[in-house]
Amino acid sequence: MENGRTERILDALIELLATRGPDALSIRNVAAVAGVSVGAVQHHFGTKEQLLQAAMGEVEQRFRTRIGALLEQEPSPQSRLRAFCVEIAGLGNDDTTEVVVWTVFAARAAVDEGIRTHHVSSWAHTEDVLRALIESAYPDSREDAGDSAALLLAVLDGIAVSRAAERGSRLSQVRGVRILDRALTSLE
């Protein structure tokens, strides 16, 4: 019961962030969307800052669980790298929830030191993972793998922000994947 309720609260947090942004992230709104009492939300998360941190941690954990399962299915280092990139860039499907939440967190990190600390460590980790995937996929590349990872991550973040903020009007899924494949080709 307790776990189910925590899960519902976290779902509500993410839904509110993805549809209405951090302005809407009040204890009262979260309780209403989750269908639980205000007291239940307060019991788990006391402040708006704690709500945001919890949502950030949850989105990250869900992403890692999903990407871990996806990468296991890929047959080669090249296809693992591509699958990871597709997910980070928000090109895996038409659901913009995750890229919207990431964009909202990035903007929050820009003006809030607590969120920034979390964001900085999360993005440093993502660049490290990307670097390892690049080194494994293209061990003979003459380019510096660290800079390759930073450049590729910029491409992925740029596509993700566009998917979130422009909702596919400039970068459709098809065009986004084509752009990504061009960036990956330049690593060969």
Give the footprint of its own copies on this chain (CB under 8 A): 18-23, 96, 99-100, 103-112, 116, 119-120, 123-124, 127, 143, 147, 150-151, 153-159, 161-162, 164-167, 169-171, 175, 178-179, 182-183, 186
- Within 10 angstroms of residue 137's Cβ, the number of other Cβ atoms is 18
**Least distance CB 38 / its own copies (angstroms):** 21
Contact 152, 134 (CB under 8 A): yes
Of residues 65 and 110, the one with the C-beta less far from its own copies: 110
Spatial separation of the C-alpha atoms in residues 56 and 132, rounded to whole Å: 24
Q: What is the dihedral of CA 142, 143, 144, 150, to 10 degrees?
A: -160
Distance, CA of 42 to CA of 141 (rounded, Å)? 52
CB of 75 to its own copies, least distance (A): 27
Smallest gap from Cβ 95 to its own copies, in A, equals 13
Residues sharing a CB contact under 8 Å with residue 156, sequence separation 6 or more, in sequence order: 85, 88, 89, 180
CA 78 to chain centre: 21
CB of 45 to its own copies, least distance (A): 18
Nearer to its own copies, 10 or 152 (CB): 152
Q: Which residue has the tokens 């009040």?
A: 26
What tokens appear for 90 in the block? Answer: 């928000």
Amino acid at 11: D
- Min dist CB 29 to its own copies, Å, is 13
Kindly tell me which of 87 and 157 has the beta carbon lying closer to its own copies.
157
By beta-carbon proximity to its own copies, the closer residue of 36 and 164 is 164
Q: Give 24 or 38: the residue with its C-beta nearer to its own copies.
A: 24
